[in-house]
Structure 1
Amino acid sequence: MTAPRRIAGVVAGRVGSALLVVWVVATVVFFALRATGDPLEAILGGPGSQAGPDAVRAATERYGLDEPLWTQYLMQLRDVATLNLGDSYARRVPVADLILENLGPTLVLAALSFTLAWILTLAGSFVRAFSRGPAGRAAQAALSGLEVIAAVTPQFWLGAVLIMVFATSLGWLPATSAGGGAAALVLPVVTLAVPIAGFLAQVTSDALADADAAPFATSARARGAGEARVLLAHTLRHAALPGLALSGWALGSLLSGAVVVEVLFARPGLGRLLQEAALQRDVPVVIGTVIVVALVYVVVVTVTDLAEAWLDPRLGGRHAPTPEVAAGVGQ
Structure 2
Amino acid sequence: MTAARPSTLGGRRLLGRIGARLAGAVFVLWAVATVTFFAIRLIPGDPAQAYLGGPGSQASTEALERVRVEYGLDQPLLVQYASQLGRLAQGDLGVSASQRTPVTQILGEQLGGTLLLAVLALIVAWLLALGLTIWSTRGGRVSSAIGSGVELVAASLPQFWLGTVLISLFSTWLGWLPPVSTGGAAGLVLPVLTLAIPVAGFLAQVMREPLLDAQSAPFAVSAAARGETRTGMLLRHGLRHASVPAVNLSGWAFGYLISGAVVVETIFARPGLGRTLLQAVTVRDVPVVTGVVLVSALAYVIVLLIADAAAELLDPRDSRRRVTS
TM-score, length of structure 1 as denominator length: 0.90
CA distance in 1: counterparts of 2:152 and 2:62, whole angstroms? 60
Residue 26 (structure 1) aligned with residue 37 (structure 2): no
Residue 142 (structure 1) aligned with residue 142 (structure 2): no
Residue 110 (structure 1) aligned with residue 118 (structure 2): yes
Q: Does the Cα contact within 8 Å between 2:137 and 2:208 map onto a contact in 1?
A: no
Q: Unmatched 5+ residue regions in structure 2?
A: 1-7
Matching residue of 1:325 = none
Q: Does the Cα contact within 8 Å between 2:191 and 2:268 map onto a contact in 1?
A: yes
CA distance in 2: counterparts of 1:6 and 1:174, whole angstroms? 52
Point out the more displaced range, 104-113 or 303-312: 303-312
CA distance in 2: counterparts of 1:76 and 1:308, whole angstroms? 36
Matching residue of 1:152 = 156
Matching residue of 2:5 = none
Cα offset for 1:232?
Answer: 1.3
Matching residue of 1:17 = 24
Name the Cα RMSD after superposition. Answer: 2.0
For the residue of structure 2 that corresponds to 1:93, the secondary structure is coil
Q: Does the Cα contact within 8 Å between 2:171 and 2:178 map onto a contact in 1?
A: yes
Spell out, residue by residue over 1:129-184, the C-alpha distance to the aligned partner (whole angstroms, 9 max, x if none). 542xxxx321221111111110111111111100111111111111111x351101
Q: Which amino acid aligns with 2:84?
A: Q
Point out the more displaced range, 49-58 or 118-127: 49-58
Q: Unmatched 5+ residue regions in structure 1?
A: 322-331
Cα offset for 1:317?
Answer: 6.7
Q: Which amino acid aligns with 1:210?
A: D
Change in CA separation of 1:123 and 1:298 when aligned onto 2, cut-off 3 Å: same
Residue 101 (structure 1) aligned with residue 105 (structure 2): no
For the residue of structure 2 that corresponds to 1:281, the secondary structure is coil
CA distance in 1: counterparts of 2:261 and 2:321, whole angstroms? 35
Change in CA separation of 1:13 and 1:320 when aligned onto 2, cut-off 3 Å: same
Cα offset for 1:54?
Answer: 5.9
Name segments (4+ residues, structure 1) moved above 3 Å.
Answer: 1-7, 50-58, 316-321
CA distance in 2: counterparts of 1:65 and 1:256, whole angstroms? 29
Q: How many pairs does the alignment contain?
A: 317
TM-score, length of structure 2 as denominator length: 0.92
CA distance in 2: counterparts of 1:180 and 1:286, whole angstroms? 25
2:278 to 250, 275, 278: 275
Cα offset for 1:6?
Answer: 4.2
Cα offset for 1:218?
Answer: 1.5
Matching residue of 1:236 = 239
CA distance in 2: counterparts of 1:88 and 1:275, whole angstroms? 14
Q: Does the Cα contact within 8 Å between 1:311 and 1:318 map onto a contact in 2?
A: no
CA distance in 2: counterparts of 1:70 and 1:248, whole angstroms? 33
| Percent identical | 53
Q: Does the Cα contact within 8 Å between 2:55 and 2:283 map onto a contact in 1?
A: no
Change in CA separation of 1:158 and 1:53 when aligned onto 2, cut-off 3 Å: closer
Spell out, residue by residue over 1:253-282, the C-alpha distance to the aligned partner (whole angstroms, 9 max, x if none). 111111110111111111111111011100
